[in-house]
Structure 1
Amino acid sequence: MADTVREIERKYEVPDGGRLPDLTGAAGVADVVDQGTATLDATYYDTADQRLAAHGVTLRRRTGGGDAGWHLKLPAGPDARDEIRAPLSDTLPAELAALVRSRVRDAALVPLVRLLSERDVRHLVDADGALLAELSADRVTARRLTPEPGEPVRWTEVEVELAPGGDPALLDALESHLTRGGVRRAAAASKLARALAETADPAGAGERAGAKAGAGEGAAAGATAGDTVLAYVRAQLAAVVALDPAVRLEAPDSVHRMRVATRRLRSAFRSFRKVLDRAATDPLADELKWLAGELGIDRDREVLTARLEERLRGLPDELRAGPVAARLGAWARERRGGTRDRLLGVLDGDRYLALLNALDALSAEPPLRPAATRPPEDVLVEAVERDYRRLAALVTTALAAPPGQDRDLAMHEARKGAKRARYAAEAARPALGRPAKAFADLMTGLQELLGDHQDSCVARRALRELAEQAQAAGESAFAFGVMYGREEALAARREAELPALWAEASREKHRGALRRRPGRPASRR
């Protein structure tokens, strides 16, 4: 079974002949305790074109020290990485192989670099003897293994790793003492990155990896509509790939964020059909809809359960007749059954892998239409306004619908339209600036109101089901009826609030601001 550890550390270079300064008394360090020397032998694995290294991911098999085994390190923010550890074995554990699949795809993992380190370890402790940070001085020998064994390179570096739960500000304070002693921050983010930079690369793998990383993440929006749209598409694709391991590890909010990235991709294909040829993007949009649906099974259940639990907590004790909490808990567990395994099956399946590969291919060779070469201010404003007009028709239908199921369905369709208009404005923001952000914010407010209404509709259906189950078991259904009534009243309030919010969101000044770009001519339509 793999374990995950959040690692917050900084690396430093020590000049030839240099010595580490004494950190006793620095930043609350009362003592520096020698922990002895360890010999570490690590082999790093990657694809031949270094797909993991290109995204700051490292995978190694290491012996020696107190944590021998397989280690996968994933970026987790400034100075931070999540290290997933699995027991030592001859072959890569299946759980780690799954975590790199979105980046590796069908390519083989090969031994890339071998690192031998003589590590002197010291603990920095406070006056009570509690560990603040671990300081390690490593004498490193690195040798490239692929495509052919190369000559070794050697260097000395220092790592300062924060103790679990420690304050990252400690690293800043320690760094000031280290730099005054002649130690400087390392240029490379990891030992592997330095080894790859300093060893021969006759096959040009590094260049290929960099090209692939660029294809996934995209450059900043540029001078044309195509530049802006592709930058957005590539950013969402990079998000899907990066969130894949987080979803597998059940990181908080990861399913929701991955689902949003798939929806933004699909929305971009719909909104910017004058930039990207729909003959190529429509099949991908269909597959993205499928993936979002699979991701949504777990996410929708979590959101609904959380809403019902919140409503139950809001009931006075005297209204909680019967085993209401137990009934809700059993219902939630029953709904969860099998959904986790199903989602992992999707992520491990060929259909998902084919979708990632197809999105990569579109990113590398985009099916651009003639409008892609036009200024983004023209093309993107047109796209946002087109989505707005579509939304206006949906909201008009919702406002005119009679109360009940017809209005509920119409408001749900309007919610989807608001989301699409919001995503289009967000994609256009690099080119259109603050007006696009302001318009996206308006659409977000509209989407949230309509979303709360839809969530209330779903909650009422669930509460009816819970009431029926309670009655069948001879329990009181009173509490579920009260919760139903409160949800019904909330939905009515949202319906009453919609006209005023729509009147504000649809004011001409907001769309007019999109067209009026300083120093630019008005949009040509």
Structure 2
Amino acid sequence: MKSDDRPHDVAALGDEAQAESTFAALATPLVDEALAHNASIHADATPESLHQLRVALRRLRSLWWAYRPLLDKAENTRQRALYRFLADAAGRTRDWDILLELLAGKSDGSGESANVRDVPASLREARERALATSRETLINADIRNVLHDALASTSKELNTAPERHALRKFAAKRVRIAEKSLRKRMRKALRAKRADYAVLHDVRKSGKRVRYLIEFFGPVLADAGHGRTLRRLKNMQQCFGELNDVIASVALLRDNMNLFASEDEAREALAFLKGRRKERQCEAVRLLQKA
């Protein structure tokens, strides 16, 4: 089951729709999606199922960010921190999957890709240990009840609030704020040194937030240009996501150099990943310059 990145049908709620009463219609499909992916992880933890769970939880975090002005600040912060914690739990195994995929595709010098069997078994064993930890964390977190309770309590808070906000106006304002933050981070990244991965990562996070908000509220946003923005953000996410994958893999490999049979083998793998990181970074910078 892949994440549904189509705009939610909030337009069906009418021109007089209120932001408060629309929240549950937006959040419920995301909660259901996260729980479905969580269930599939316990049955068969494929790299895709782990990735899709993390995406669903990130989308939930972005939705709670969108509604932050209408919610209790401390509770909203706690909820978003919880989604990040759960996403990170799935992400730890996903990071191993990415590292293994990158190393399995390493060129052996003859122009041919190395076979997955060339990846040390100790790395695959480490991935399985990470998976066991991820599963245990998600089980202990009681994710089903956690997400349903969060949905119920937030919906109640919004629906019992004394003030009401027009959905169209509320959505447009939140998207504008997210877009302004993205432009600011893009300018900072272009001014930064080429090796400043942190600012590029900030661009990636801001871009995802804008994309998710447009997908949430797209049908009620008056600006027809959001369709073009969405396509541009998807391209950016692809490029910056690949860069982030390599950066995470470099960090993970550095922390686990002892899993290789020899120091030379570990250094060779690290050098390969650094080369990939440089390539991806140059692509990300070129994309920013064209934006």
Q: TM-score higher than 0.5 here?
A: yes
Q: Which SS does the other structure have where 2:101 is aligned?
A: helix
Q: Which SS does the other structure have where 1:317 is aligned?
A: coil
**Aligned residue among 304, 308, 317 for 2:103:** 308
Asked if 1:420 is matched to 2:218, the reply is no
Is the 1:324–1:479 Cα contact (8 Å) retained in structure 2? no
Asked if 1:400 is matched to 2:195, the reply is no
Please give the root-mean-square deviation of Cα atoms over the aligned residues, in Å.
3.5
Written as runs of structure 1 = structure 2, the 5 A alignment for 1:355-366 is 355-362=146-153, 364-366=155-157
Asked if 1:457 is matched to 2:247, the reply is yes
* Aligned mates of 1:425, 1:371 — CA distance in 2: 27
Structure 1 equivalent of residue 84 of structure 2:
289
* Aligned mates of 1:229, 1:436 — CA distance in 2: 21
Length-normalised TM-score, structure 1: 0.47
Task: Tell me which amino acid in the other structure corresponds to 2:174.
Answer: A
The alpha-carbon deviation at position 375 of structure 1 amounts to 2.8
Task: Tell me which amino acid in the other structure corresponds to 1:345.
Answer: E
Q: What percentage of aligned pairs have identical amino acids?
A: 22
Is the 1:457–1:491 Cα contact (8 Å) retained in structure 2? no
Q: Which SS does the other structure have where 1:338 is aligned?
A: helix
* Aligned mates of 1:342, 1:466 — CA distance in 2: 17
CA separation of 1:371 and 1:258: change in aligned 2, threshold 3 A: farther
1:53-107 per-residue CA deviation (whole Å, 9 max, x = no partner) reads: xxxxxxxxxxxxxxxxxxxxxxx8xxxxxxxxxxxxxxxxxxxxxxxxxxxxxxx
Is the 1:275–1:372 Cα contact (8 Å) retained in structure 2? no
* Aligned mates of 1:363, 1:473 — CA distance in 2: 53
CA separation of 1:262 and 1:347: change in aligned 2, threshold 3 A: same
Q: Name whichever structure is richer in helix by fraction.
A: 2
Is the 1:240–1:258 Cα contact (8 Å) retained in structure 2? yes
Asked if 1:232 is matched to 2:21, the reply is no
Task: Tell me which amino acid in the other structure corresponds to 1:415.
Answer: R
Q: Which SS does the other structure have where 2:69 is aligned?
A: coil
Is the 1:267–1:423 Cα contact (8 Å) retained in structure 2? yes
* Aligned mates of 1:456, 1:317 — CA distance in 2: 23
Is the 1:226–1:373 Cα contact (8 Å) retained in structure 2? yes
Larger deviation, residues 360-369 vs 421-430: 360-369
1:6-60 per-residue CA deviation (whole Å, 9 max, x = no partner) reads: xxxxxxxxxxxxxxxxxxxxxxxxxxxxxxxxxxxxxxxxxxxxxxxxxxxxxxx
The alpha-carbon deviation at position 459 of structure 1 amounts to 3.5
CA separation of 1:352 and 1:379: change in aligned 2, threshold 3 A: same
- What are structure 2's unaligned runs of at least 5 residues? 2-9
The alpha-carbon deviation at position 251 of structure 1 amounts to 5.8
Is the 1:460–1:484 Cα contact (8 Å) retained in structure 2? yes
Structure 2 equivalent of residue 443 of structure 1:
233
Q: Which SS does the other structure have where 1:367 is aligned?
A: helix
Structure 2 equivalent of residue 317 of structure 1:
110
**Aligned residue among 22, 38, 62 for 1:267:** 62
Task: Tell me which amino acid in the other structure corresponds to 2:77.
Answer: D
Task: Tell me which amino acid in the other structure corresponds to 2:130.
Answer: T
Is the 1:259–1:295 Cα contact (8 Å) retained in structure 2? yes
Length-normalised TM-score, structure 2: 0.79
1:156-214 per-residue CA deviation (whole Å, 9 max, x = no partner) reads: xxxxxxxxxxxxxxxxxxxxxxxxxxxxxxxxxxxxxxxxxxxxxxxxxxxxxxxxxxx
Is the 1:274–1:372 Cα contact (8 Å) retained in structure 2? no
CA separation of 1:446 and 1:439: change in aligned 2, threshold 3 A: same
The alpha-carbon deviation at position 360 of structure 1 amounts to 3.8
Task: Tell me which amino acid in the other structure corresponds to 1:441.
Answer: R
1:493-518 per-residue CA deviation (whole Å, 9 max, x = no partner) reads: 2243133343xxxxxxxxxxxxxxxx
Structure 2 equivalent of residue 333 of structure 1:
124
1:351-390 per-residue CA deviation (whole Å, 9 max, x = no partner) reads: 5355234224225524359797333221111101101111
* Aligned mates of 1:219, 1:250 — CA distance in 2: 37
Is the 1:275–1:371 Cα contact (8 Å) retained in structure 2? no
Task: Tell me which amino acid in the other structure corresponds to 2:171.
Answer: L
Structure 2 equivalent of residue 497 of structure 1:
286
Task: Tell me which amino acid in the other structure corresponds to 1:362.
Answer: S
1:369-421 per-residue CA deviation (whole Å, 9 max, x = no partner) reads: 979733322111110110111112222221111232xx111111111111111
CA separation of 1:372 and 1:273: change in aligned 2, threshold 3 A: farther
* Aligned mates of 1:300, 1:476 — CA distance in 2: 20
Asked if 1:432 is matched to 2:221, the reply is yes
Structure 2 equivalent of residue 152 of structure 1:
none
Is the 2:168–2:220 Cα contact (8 Å) retained in structure 1? yes
Is the 2:95–2:245 Cα contact (8 Å) retained in structure 1? no
Is the 2:190–2:288 Cα contact (8 Å) retained in structure 1? yes
Asked if 1:346 is matched to 2:137, the reply is yes
Q: Which SS does the other structure have where 1:403 is aligned?
A: coil
* Aligned mates of 1:369, 1:384 — CA distance in 2: 25
Task: Tell me which amino acid in the other structure corresponds to 2:58.
Answer: R
Name the larger-Rg structure. 1
1:431-461 per-residue CA deviation (whole Å, 9 max, x = no partner) reads: 2275444322222222222222222323344
**Aligned residue among 233, 236, 249 for 2:43:** 249
Task: Tell me which amino acid in the other structure corresponds to 1:438.
Answer: R
